[in-house]
Structure 1
Amino acid sequence: MSPELRHARVLVVDDNAAFLDNLQELLSDAGYEVGVASSCQAARERAKEGFDVSLVDLRLPDGEGTSLAAELKKAMPESEVVLLTGFATLETAMAAVRAGACAYLMKPCAPQELLLTLEQAMRQVRLHGEKRVLARRAQMTEKLAAVGTMTAGLSHEIRNPLNAAALQLSVLERRVRKLPEGQQGPLLEPLGLVRDEIRRLDHILEDFLQFARPREFRPEPVEVEALLRRVGDLLGSQAEARKVKLEVVLPSPISRVLGEEERLRQVLINLTLNALDATPEGGEVRLSASEDSRGIWVTVDDTGPGIPVAVRDRIFEPFFTTKAQGSGLGLPIVHAIVTQHGGTLEVGEAPGGGARFVLWLSKGAPAPAQPVG
């Protein structure tokens, strides 16, 4: 999840216990999520939990801070490292630059100077994230262009034969039902399988069409509480059939957002169905909402296996899927709808270890957006 939707994480590495305690208190009061380590080895272990900025002492009991800084930058390229030292020299400053540190502070440093340096480092972290998002959007734009080109031919060449096949299948089914009952069963079963496959192909084609066709965006006030309860009601029977608990947790009252209710319902149904599919019997899917002065967060949590970190950045790419069947356009369509609403959609880990999708929507009017599928 981006730093804008959570506390920024700071890893402090220093072998002075009193200094660590002071920094942890100062940074926690400033709103940072703070982790501490007193050696290179401990820092390597803590770094596995993730961090945005690391404050690293130049001299540590089991190694040099410059070497550790280079390791941390290699492990977390989008993070930043600030080196701390009580013995500043030209050589150590040059070593800090070579290690990839973004800043170099003398100990003891004034609280305001430290906080200002951290904020500057966080700006760099946010820039790294924005560059990654822009690169991913550029890649998605190329794939979208490919989808549009393919759809122009596919919609006619595939839809017509599908419609003809479905029609002939209906004719055949009516004829079979006129036979004696004892003869119908062995014939109706394969017909049902064929019908399901035609329906699946039709849904895949509809995904292509929906993703490629421009559509005008007409926002209106949407009651979030009613929207979430409606999704819970619609999918309640499917949750029961899967023996999964579906819970909707809402504050009362909750503000409205501007958007298209039908399309937002499509987003939440898709995310909730994915969560139900991923959750084993006896598990739980939780649909919840919260708000602040800026907007509303809708969270979908499940107790399934979760989404591996390695693929989280790719799940909104067109055609990328981890399922055996499907077009790979379900989540990209969801992401496109959310983007058109001026919102964000991010994936992470739920408290129960499963997947967590966090949808953010502004209470105000969405910024003008290009029509998307």
Structure 2
Amino acid sequence: MSPPPQPDSQQQQAQQQYEKLHSQYNELAELAGSLAHEIKNPLSVIRMNLELLNEDPSEAKTPNERRALNKVRIVEEQCVRLENMLNDFLRFARVRNLNLQPSNLNEQIEQVLNLFEVQARKSNIEIRRYLDADLPTVFLDRETIRSALINLVKNAFEAMDHDGELTARTYVTRTGVALDLIDTGCGMDERTAIKMFDAFFSTKDGGSGLGLPHARKVIEAHGARIDVQSELGRGTKFTIEFPAPARLATGAAAVV
């Protein structure tokens, strides 16, 4: 009878198993990304030709021609939807190293909120900012963290539709730096809140179900955590807490 494996041996086996799974995931992600690209190319050609067919709807003279153009428009809309889903999938599946740089979290969220100012005015949504001016520096990959924040703010706007309030608040915690995003939207029940970060889960018509999973993936790759509190009919609060610089290695981390 062979002796039971020692702790060091168990750790080694666990590490080998992790590396094997990680390698398999990378291969699968690369394959999925290649497949998505292959689908996108003919889809783009189809959409462009549909746009040409639908270039001048006023030229349709008969009821049959108008019905045909209406069907062309429907197919074109579905092509756009598929392209958007493929783009979301490519962002979610992509594996890349993070380029961590000393950054100001206030600047990152401010840039994202500015992107939504026009939409906020159109939808009568007030954006409130309570940003700690003395916030310490954190290490961020500015491109990927901005994409994660855009997904979270977009989700908040969609939850409010028209008339509402989005509050962005930054502050220092015992272990790092935090950001709250609080909306006055429709909120979620417990089941939805639990499943919202699952890939392909969506409560929206036409949603890819990849925006929030991508956001969490990016945030956790930064060594940060994201929590959600929500109440149906009352709104939702996302809290992201980034580790203090001393606790975060300044090298490259991987989004996996």
TM range (shorter): 0.7 to 0.9
Q: Counterparts of 1:232 and 1:251 in 2: how far apart (Å)? A: 16
Structure 2 vs 1, CA of residues 188 and 230 (structure 1 numbering), >3 Å: closer, same or farther?
farther
Q: d(CA) in 2 for partners of 1:280 and 1:327?
A: 18
Q: Does 1:366 align with 2:238?
A: no
Q: How many angstroms apart in 2 are the aligned matches of 1:229 and 1:283?
A: 19
Matches within 5 A, 1:1-373: 148=29, 151=32, 154-172=35-53, 176-177=55-56, 182-183=58-59, 194-349=75-230, 353-364=234-245, 366=248, 371-372=254-255
1:234-257 deviation line (CA, Å, top 9, x unaligned): 101111222221222212132221
The question of whether the paired residues in 2 share the 8 Å contact of 1:231 and 1:268 is answered with yes
Q: What TM-score, normalized to structure 2?
A: 0.75
Q: Give the unaligned 5+ runs of structure 1.
A: 1-140
Quote how far apart the aligned CAs of 1:324 are: 2.5
1:190 CA drift (Å): 6.5
Check 1:254–1:189 CA distance in 2 against 1; reply closer, same or farther (3 A cut). farther
Question: What secondary structure does 1:318 align onto?
Answer: coil
Contact 2:30-2:94 at 8 Å conserved across structures: no
Q: Check 1:146–1:301 CA distance in 2 against 1; reply closer, same or farther (3 A cut).
A: farther
Q: Map Cα deviations across residues 64-123 of structure 1 (whole Å, 9 max, x no partner).
A: xxxxxxxxxxxxxxxxxxxxxxxxxxxxxxxxxxxxxxxxxxxxxxxxxxxxxxxxxxxx
Say if 2:179 and 2:239, in contact at 8 Å, map to a contact too: yes
Match of 1:117 in 2: none
Q: 1:280 to 1:199 in 2, by over 3 A?
A: closer
Listed as ranges, the gaps of 5+ residues in structure 2 are 1-21
Partners of 2:235 and 2:60 lie apart in 1 by 45
Q: Is the 8 A contact 1:342 1:362 kept in 2?
A: yes
Provide the C-alpha distance between the structure 1 equivalents of 2:123 and 2:69, rounded to a whole number of angstroms.
Answer: 26
| AA in 1 matched with 2:126 | K
Relative distance call for 1:307 and 1:295 in structure 2 (3 A) is same
CA separation of 1:298 and 1:200: change in aligned 2, threshold 3 A: same
RMSD: 3.0
SS at 1:313 equivalent: helix
Rounded Cα–Cα distance in structure 1 between residues aligned with 2:69 and 2:248: 50
Change (3 A) 1:227 1:183: same
Q: 2-side partners of 1:206 and 1:242: how far apart?
A: 26
Q: How many residues align?
A: 225
Give the Cα separation in 1 of the matches to 2:37 and 2:109.
36
- 1:211-240 per-position Cα deviation (integer Å, ceiling 9, x unaligned): 222111110112212212211211011112
Pair 298,333 (structure 1): closer, same or farther in 2 beyond 3 Å: same
Report 1 or 2 for greater relative contact order, CA contacts < 8 Å, sequence distance ≥ 6. Answer: 2
Amino acid at match of 1:183: E
Among the aligned pairs, what percent are the same residue? 29
Confirm or deny: 8 A CA contact 1:228 1:248 kept in the other structure. no
Residue 342 of structure 1 contacts residue 366 of structure 1 at CA under 8 Å; is this kept in 2?
A: yes
Deviation for aligned residue 1:304: 1.5
How far is 1:188 from its partner? Answer: 7.9
The 1:192/1:224 distance shift into structure 2, 3 A limit, reads farther
What is the SS of the residue equivalent to 1:306? coil
> CA 1:316 to 1:196, structure 2 compared with 1: closer, same or farther past 3 Å?
same
Shift of 1:341: 0.5
| Distance in 2 separating the partners of 1:268 and 1:155 | 24
